[in-house]
Amino acid sequence: MSLTLRASLLALWVTVSANAQTRTLALYAGPAHGLDLKANAVMRAELDRLLAPAGIEVVWKSLAARRAGENFDLVAVGSFEGSCATDETPGGQIARSLADTSIADGHILPFFRIDCTRLVRMLGPQYEPAVLGRALARLVGHEIYHIVAQTTEHRGKGLAKASFSIPDLTDTEFDLDLSSLARMRTTFSTRSPEMASRK
């Protein structure tokens, strides 16, 4: 891709981002067994970074601490299955996918699941907790893409593609492509009040 084209796309992205309204997404996430504090902090920071260009501010919430009267533009509920501890040797059978989102009658539901056991096994023990946190954020971000964009479709590259390699999960640069960002912004901004989740 030429330098001029890259500069033009960057200018377009900055213009769209500057003019877009930020929406809040309340993320009610269950406990991630064995997740290191540093990995948890990196996961949250990386998810913020991934979703900021889509105009989404993630507000991490606990179901136990839920209060009446809290309003959010969208709500997602996630669960972390298995163990996120890198010092444990996972045994037994594991799921085929690293993560998935619930679908009913062709509609994307705001529920997703991350398979920590499979992710830890895939990465191996050589990875630092920060790298695990980055990988978790990318799996969560992918599922939030489906929920916000209300689509089961995948893209050819970036966070919205169908499957991830280890470099996709661990490299410092990996983002949503411009088409995915546009779809998330459009679906999110045109969502009717009846579709928006209010808690």
Q: Rounded distance, CA 96 to CA 128, Å?
A: 24
Q: Average the pLDDT over each of 105-114, 157-166, 181-190 and give the range with the smallest value.
A: 181-190
Phi and psi at 109, nearest 5°, equal: -95, 155
Phi and psi at 155, nearest 5°, equal: -105, 170
Q: Residue 60's closest CA among 101, 102, 31, 100?
A: 31
CA dihedral 194, 49, 85, 110 (to 10 degrees): 10
CATH no. for 23-190: 3.40.390.10
Prediction pTM value: 0.82
pLDDT digits (tens, 9 = 90+) for 123-180: 988 889 999 999 999 999 999 999 999 999 999 999 999 999 999 999 999 999 999 9
pLDDT digits (tens, 9 = 90+) for 16-48: 444 457 899 999 998 999 999 999 999 999 999
pLDDT value of residue 19: 45
